Amino acid sequence: MTRCALCDRIDTSSEYRCTCGGPLQLDHFKGSIKEGGNVWSAYRDFFPYNLSKEDSLGEGNTPLIRAKRLSTKFGINLYLKNETVNPTWSFKDRGTIFGIKRALELGYKRIGTVSTGNMAASVACYGAYHGSRILVLVPTDIHEDKIGQISIYGPEIIGVEGDYGELYYESLDMDDIYFINSDNPYRIEGYKSMAFEIASDIDASHVIIPTSSGGLFRGIVKGYEELFQNHILSDLPKFIAVQAAGCSPIHRAFEEGEPVKRWGPPHTIAKAISNPFPPSGDAVLRKLKELKGTCAAVNDHGIIEAQKNIARDGIYCQPASAVGVAALPQLINDMGQGSKVVSLITGSGMKVEGRSTKVNTVTMSDLREKI
């Protein structure tokens, strides 16, 4: 049964959106943790499908790494949830596997997605694996290296001029294609698995979530809520949504106490989270208010510095993944000394976002002088 994440109304008239305009999600699951196995089997009571070995490409069950240098710097126990090791190098694979299952269950021959890169690669990969025809709609300014990763799986790729946020809504009117977009209800179910893994490893006091459309934030929160409602956890962490300052409609609305409004053209290096009109924005605001969470925005300079610091703690992430660490100087005063803080590292730095680094060159004869 699907329920609106914004107004709580049960709505079965659509696969994606409530009649009020809010995003739909499956009702909360009841169950218990099973012994052994991976996250999909141990928490199978909490997922809409039991995944077989034939469904999976090895997504999930990613490491939670204590960032030694950053922990010392900020006086906390900072953990990085490393989603770069998923099959297509981002957290999107966790949601795609359930979205594909739903599309196949409904009998769709064509599956689509609207994406700036990570989700496109994920849907193209899993679609190819399951023999589905895949349509990927991308903005026309997408970096050519991202197209390379998407196209290798053989989908139909169409660059669409215009507002990326509006393209999401346009796609939902295509009746013969099932769209596994950013906050598809079944995609949200896959994202819950990250919350289950974190909670099984540590009792986090704060969970920091890079936020664009709002789908990942909703999935993490829903996972924790289900653990709490089933008495597996006695308390919830504080949830923190972080956006890039150059495209931060949720943060602006949070500060103003108003609904999310459309942002102008994005101007940020963190292109993977630069949705100017996030479809789950108001649902994120609702949860932040209900659970006493908070929201922050960080500039590109801070993002780049955080990306470097994360690399020195062992993970090469894309700029969008670094926003959580970049926000720590703003957040640290509200965190107690030694707090257990998790920041999600959502995608690999191998996913180019348009920033290049100049390399100094020398002749072979000058090499020894330079080193």
d(CA 129, CA 136): 16
Q: What is the DSSP letter of 267?
A: -
> What percent of the chain is modeled with pLDDT above 70?
94
Q: Which stretches within the chain are classed as H helix?
A: 39-42, 68-74, 92-105, 118-129, 144-151, 164-171, 185-201, 215-229, 249-256, 281-290, 300-312, 323-326, 328-331, 367-370
Reported as a pLDDT band with limits 50, 70 and 90, residue 144 is: confident
The length of the chain is 371
For residues 20-24, give the mean pLDDT.
Answer: 94
Reported as a pLDDT band with limits 50, 70 and 90, residue 364 is: very low
Kindly state the tokens that stand for 198: 């974190």
Summarize pLDDT for 183-219 with one digit per residue, the tens: 999 999 999 999 999 999 999 999 999 999 999 999 9
pTM of the predicted structure, to 2 decimals? 0.93
Report which secondary-structure segment, H or E, holds 352.
none
In the chain, which segments carry CATH 3.40.50.1100?
Answer: 64-88+186-345, 91-179
The predicted pLDDT at position 357 comes to 41
Angular region, 163: left φ>0, alpha ψ -120 to 50, beta rest: beta
Radius of gyration, CA atoms only, the chain: 20
d(CA 302, CA 297): 10
The amino acid that residue 326 corresponds to is A
CB neighbour list of residue 342: distance below 8 Å, 6 or more residues apart? 64, 78, 79, 80, 81, 198, 202, 204, 206, 207, 208, 237
Pick the CATH number of 64-88+186-345 from 3.40.50.1100, 3.90.470.20, 1.20.1250.20, 3.30.565.10: 3.40.50.1100
Q: What class does CATH assign to 91-179? A: alpha beta
- 8 Å CB contact between 291 and 41: no
